[in-house]
């Protein structure tokens, strides 16, 4: 026991302290982290719900619409001056309509108290001038005008939110237009009385047929008369190159001699390529071939879910650049006239800028048909371009792997709902009449899809952020600038284009440091481009600007450019000829192992 005690260490005395002993603080516990699995699950759930909602809203984001409406309503609520102004406008419009109604009731022939907009043809028929239907439609137009005043000019509302709210109000009003109902549409009443109601029966048959075709994925009634390769896309040629994204078609010459520089046409992949090779009478391809040009066209594949990861760079490399490489191998040493239409024109402009940056001199000229390179003035499509809307649309494409053109068509139809939705519904389902399908309408119904990654990059990098115009767009890891393009440039805009407004297309003057010939053609995005000589009602303005000449904005350009009656195609062919060498012997056509035009990709559903 004593030995145990002896081995104990002696305690040292503890010095007295004035307070408690302070211990070093323990490090804080690490913040809780979500597991990768829970994060991924939450993302999948959100995206799946958004995709499900998007199928019922045609891809439109309810959150984006709610934000715009809240912005407008909040600012209107604290604007008593604007409210009083609207009250006064409503009172004046009501008094004007009442005065007009009294005069009409007394039998006086007085002009309408409000005229429809020039593009509004719903109330143009003689029956609408009869009482009481003239009062009905004028009351509707006054109501429409009041809502336009209510949704615009509210101080503090962002420009895009104002446009969205005005657009939404217009859609609702278009739905309840008196032209859409039998009892308020005198033309429908006359048709029903004349046919004993047979028009309603025929209309119901049309509705059932259209519904059945839509559910079964078949094309609209009448499209059977436009078979690809027989009635449309029937210019003779051969597929000379094919990869996983496109086929390259070379058309057979019809002249003994051709210009040495081949013409490469890059259409948009948003629809089938044969918009530029419709019927023989209105095929731009056939027109150019007949004037001694060696014409090539890119025919894009109709992508499915397996193509979800194809991006804009893949379309440039495997599309535009692969076509240029293939042509250079077939006709070595000859420079190429590049022609791009719509989105294909934007892609070709990117490719041309990349080539110029890398000292690739294989292009002889560049032509952009209804193609935008600056997206700051991209028209009413910008209603659907913001972070909320694009995220919502991306979730739909993420689940599918692609965006079907039918889903996107809803947005385009709403931009012109009177013409593309309600007028057609009244004619087909209430009047019981079918407008004969034409080749352009049959082409428009031949829908394609767009890969998830490509469409996301296109909308974000070009529409939302405008990277191409502002020098942030990159190819091969390096930025591209349209100012590097030095070849002559031919650009076409159309007067009624709601996809690529001509004022937006005109901005190429600010971006290209080269000679620019600009054409403003009568018509819309498609009909203004498909404008063969000989058709009535065709006209265009054209004006050239040499490099480093003073800039003219869109309004000044329109005032200065001379107007010509007729198609712009002859001017385009003459411009290509002026930038081409002397004709050489036409190539001898040979059968390709890849098959004849129009190829196989255009036939994919």
Active site residues: 342
Find, among 520, 528, 525, the residue nearest to 561 by Cα: 520
3-state helix, strand, coil in the chain (%, to 5): 50, 15, 40
Contact 261, 580 (CB under 8 A): yes
Contact 322, 348 (CB under 8 A): no
Residue that has been written with the tokens 């078609």 in this structure: 249
Q: Report the alpha-carbon distance of residue 458 to residue 19 in Å, rounded.
A: 69
Structure tokens at 437: 């399908």
| Displacement of CA 305 from its chain's centroid (Å) | 22
Residue that has been written with the tokens 């294989």 in this structure: 362
- Which pairing describes strands 263-266 and 336-341: parallel, antiparallel, or unpaired? parallel
What kind and span of H or E run contains 203? helix 198-216
In eight-state DSSP terms, residue 471 is: T
Structure tokens at 515: 């000679």
Contact 310, 345 (CB under 8 A): no
Strands (E) in 305-347, as ranges, are: 336-341
Q: Report the alpha-carbon distance of residue 47 to residue 397 in Å, rounded.
A: 10
Structure tokens at 115: 């005229």
Any residues with CB less than 8 A from the CB of 224 and at least 6 apart, and which? none
Strands (E) in 472-530, as ranges, are: 474-475, 478-479, 489-494, 516-521
Residue that has been written with the tokens 């031919």 in this structure: 490
Residues forming beta bridges with residue 490, ordered by sequence position:
367, 517
Q: Report the alpha-carbon distance of residue 411 to residue 85 in Å, rounded.
A: 33
Q: Report the alpha-carbon distance of residue 314 to residue 249 in Å, rounded.
A: 20
CB atoms within 10 A of CB 148: 14
Structure tokens at 125: 């028929």
What kind and span of H or E run contains 564? strand 563-565
Q: Report the alpha-carbon distance of residue 392 to residue 54 in Å, rounded.
A: 7
Structure tokens at 75: 């600012």
Residue that has been written with the tokens 């009177």 in this structure: 418
Contact 395, 455 (CB under 8 A): no
CA atoms within 13 A on the CB side of 298: 37
Q: Report the alpha-carbon distance of residue 249 to residue 594 in Å, rounded.
A: 10
246-251, strands of its sheet edge to edge: 237-242, 246-251, 295-300, 263-266, 336-341, 363-369, 489-494, 516-521, 539-545, 563-565
Residues forming beta bridges with residue 596, ordered by sequence position:
238
């Amino acid at each position: 026991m004593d030995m145990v005690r002896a081995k104990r260490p002696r305690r040292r005395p503890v010095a007295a302290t004035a307070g408690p002993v302070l211990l070093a603080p323990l490090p804080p516990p690490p913040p809780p982290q979500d597991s990768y699995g829970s994060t991924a699950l939450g993302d999948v759930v959100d995206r799946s719900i958004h995709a499900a909602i998007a199928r019922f809203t045609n891809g439109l984001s309810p959150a984006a619409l709610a934000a715009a409406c809240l912005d407008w309503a909040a600012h209107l609520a604290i604007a008593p001056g604007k409210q009083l102004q609207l009250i006064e406008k409503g009172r004046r419009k009501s008094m004007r309509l009442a005065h007009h109604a009294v005069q009409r009731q007394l039998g006086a022939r007085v002009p309408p108290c409000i005229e429809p907009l020039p593009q509004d043809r719903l109330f143009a028929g003689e029956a609408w001038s009869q009482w009481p239907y003239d009062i009905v439609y004028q009351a509707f137009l006054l109501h429409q005008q009041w809502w336009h005043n209510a949704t615009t000019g509210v101080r503090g509302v962002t420009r895009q939110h104002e446009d969205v709210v005005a657009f939404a109000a217009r859609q609702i009003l278009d739905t309840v237009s008196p032209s859409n109902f039998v009892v308020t549409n005198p033309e429908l009443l006359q048709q029903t009385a004349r046919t004993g109601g047979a028009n309603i029966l025929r209309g119901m048959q049309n509705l059932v047929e259209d519904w059945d075709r839509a559910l079964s994925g078949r094309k609209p009634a009448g499209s059977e008369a436009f078979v690809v390769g027989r009635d449309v896309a029937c210019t003779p040629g051969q597929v000379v190159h094919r990869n996983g994204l496109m086929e390259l078609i070379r058309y057979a010459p019809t002249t003994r001699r051709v210009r040495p520089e081949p013409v490469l046409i890059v259409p948009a992949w948003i629809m089938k390529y044969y918009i530029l090779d419709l019927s023989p009478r209105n095929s731009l391809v056939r027109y150019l071939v007949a004037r001694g040009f060696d014409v090539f066209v890119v025919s894009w594949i109709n992508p499915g879910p397996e193509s979800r990861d194809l991006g804009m760079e893949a379309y440039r490399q495997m599309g535009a650049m692969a076509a240029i490489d293939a042509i250079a191998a077939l006709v070595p040493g000859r420079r190429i006239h590049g022609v791009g239409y719509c989105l294909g024109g934007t892609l070709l402009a990117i490719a041309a800028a990349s080539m110029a940056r890398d000292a690739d001199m294989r292009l002889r000229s560049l032509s952009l048909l209804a193609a935008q390179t600056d997206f700051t003035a991209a028209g009413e499509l910008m209603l659907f371009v913001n972070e909320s809307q694009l995220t919502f649309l991306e979730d739909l494409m993420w689940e599918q792997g692609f965006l079907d053109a039918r889903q996107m068509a809803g947005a385009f139809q709403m931009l012109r709902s009177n013409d593309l939705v309600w007028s057609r519904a009244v004619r087909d389902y209430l009047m019981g009449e079918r407008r004969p399908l034409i080749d352009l309408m049959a082409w428009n119904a031949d829908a394609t899809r767009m890969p998830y990654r490509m469409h996301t990059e296109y909308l974000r990098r070009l529409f939302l952020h405008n990277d191409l115009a502002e020098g942030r767009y990159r190819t091969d890891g390096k930025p591209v600038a349209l100012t590097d393009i030095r070849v002559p440039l031919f650009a076409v805009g159309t007067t009624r284009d709601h996809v690529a407004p001509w004022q937006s297309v005109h901005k190429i003057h600010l971006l290209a440091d080269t000679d620019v010939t600009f054409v403003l053609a009568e018509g819309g995005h498609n009909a203004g481009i498909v404008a063969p000589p000989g058709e009535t009602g065709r006209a265009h303005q054209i004006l050239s600007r040499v490099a480093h000449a003073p800039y003219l904005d869109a309004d000044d350009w329109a005032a200065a450019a001379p107007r010509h009656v007729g198609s712009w195609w002859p001017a385009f062919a003459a411009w290509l000829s002026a930038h081409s060498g002397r004709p050489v012997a036409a190539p001898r056509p040979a059968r390709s192992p890849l098959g004849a035009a129009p190829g196989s990709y255009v036939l994919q559903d």
